[in-house]
Structure 1
Amino acid sequence: MGSDRDTLLGMGFDQSRVDWAMKATGNRGLQPAMDHILANEGKPVPDPGSVTEAPASSGGAMDVDDDEDAEALKALGVSAGSEVEAKSIKCSICSKVFRNTALANFHAEKSGHDQFEESTEEIKPLTEEEKKERLEELRAKMGEKRAKKAVEDAKEQKANEDIRRKAGKDMTQIREDLQAKEIMKEQEQKRRDKIEDAKAKAAVKAQIEADKKARVEKAAREKALREGRSVEATPAAAIPKPAAATSSSNAKEARIQIRLASGGQPLTTTLPSESPLQAVADFVTSQNTSIDASSLSFTQSFPRKTFTQADFSKTLKELGLTPSAALMAS
């Protein structure tokens, strides 16, 4: 038993499968064990305690009066005679001879043959040459099985890799699309900011010119009064208005730049024109927590205005801070 078991283990068979075969065949030798391994290839190995050990054979004879063998023979279409000592089972279709009913059943399942008969022909033990041939056959079958499994595993691995790569490409494309949209959004915002800055500069320039002209006219009036000359009032229509004054009431947003009395980089925010000045105060205090919100006020240089807490409930549109304005927070 030891040499047969070692031979099967040396072929690379799993130890549990070899022990199952040796126990199930009653330790009758290498050939029955190999036949059992072939017949049960692919089946899970049962728990050792649930395997019924076959009775040891004496001379290879098979008693057809045994209940189990008799039922097996009957299923194969063999009539068991009570006085006949059957040493083998023969397939009536292909004339192959089998040592026991298990091997005959296996042959019937594989070939579809269903006619068997008892035989007194004794199956001789395998010669060393036959054992080598059978071992080579088993190795070839196991090699084919492993090669087939390796091909299937490679196909499955390739399919999984293709799925993973496709998913990676999809995610990359999504990220690139999002980045492109963000870039376009930033560019559009910069364009709008540039336009609003230009409008604000134009409005400031117009206001400066208007203030300059008003000062010149005031000086001229005062001089005429000192000299006793009559002074003609300058029509209000002659005083230029800020370029953005005509469109400020229609602006939907206000871009506010806030400089802090304490210095540092100016703060910039864009708010809806209907937002109260309180929203600007909240923005400033959120950016600089050291500022006291209760005493905060804003000053506009052109035209010169100061906005106190009483003005915080008024909208940016009402205060003339649209479409843009520069404030000093103090």
Structure 2
Amino acid sequence: MSVTETLIAMGFPEAAAKAAAGNNRNLDQALNYIENDGVGFENEGESSSGASSSSTSAAEAASPENRAIPAVAAGFKCEDCGAFLSNDDEMVRHAGQTKHGNFSQCDQPDIDDSREPLFQLPPMTEEEKVAKAKEICDKIQKARDLKDKKKTEEEKQELMERREEKTAMLSLREEAREREIKEAAAQLRRQKVEDEAAREKIREQIRLDREERKAKLTPMPPKVAKVEVAAPVRDHSSTTLQIRLLDGKMVRQEFKTIEPLVMVRAWIETNQPVGSSFSLMTPFPRREFSDDDMGTSLLELKLVPTANIVVINRGVPAVAAPEEAVPTEPTNEPAAQ
């Protein structure tokens, strides 16, 4: 029974069975073809077109130089019956049906051997055919489900990518719109500032024009020459002292600023005897002069141009001068002798 008839007997459509059995495929290859929907078998024509080159390569492989290179086994050979088994599944099935256990790898079936093989693989039973067809259909359905699932995931991923691209595009458009609004607002503010500056310039020009017309209509007043008056130079060569004696009497006397304080004390002792030892002090600012101050000039003691001097008993704490004793300006009245 051919591979096509076996596939049709297993329940596959005739067209699918013929396509699967093409290119001299064996049953396992045909089942793999059906199981994978022909995927991976597109280049078989190219491989068949290179048969001549393959034969040349085989001849080269048979040369003495290449005999030492081990070749890949094309199948298995049962040493008990001489049957050639193309794959592991046939070897396992053969061992289960015949109880043979002596197998070896074989590059190709021995076509020059004239003796008949001791054992022929029995054809598949109806139950095996149905089970094999069901197994293949289950694999095909599983492959289709996996393909549909992968396609669904790809469509979902593509949809998510399109959504992300749309979101990014909307975000870019929104950012561009915000930039345009900000630029328009900035341009409006700049235009407003420029207009206000132009209006202010026009108002200033109008004010200047009015002042110019008013100046032309108003007669100019005669110019008055400014006379600079020199500030009076104060003469600090003399100072007037107002002296309060122990009995409360007030006397005035003019002294030269270069004279020491001891001259004031001598004038008091000579012209206004107080009858006891005394000291001199100023009420404002409060300061009692010591013996060391007697040799200091009145100018250095800042008793110019006028000052108040209070005579106090030596050894008696000085009291503040009454409030009416305030500095007075020098007068031209003669001092009391």
Q: How high is the TM-score relative to the length of structure 2?
A: 0.41
**Structure ranking higher in helix proportion:** 1
Q: Which structure has the larger Rg over C-alpha atoms?
A: 2
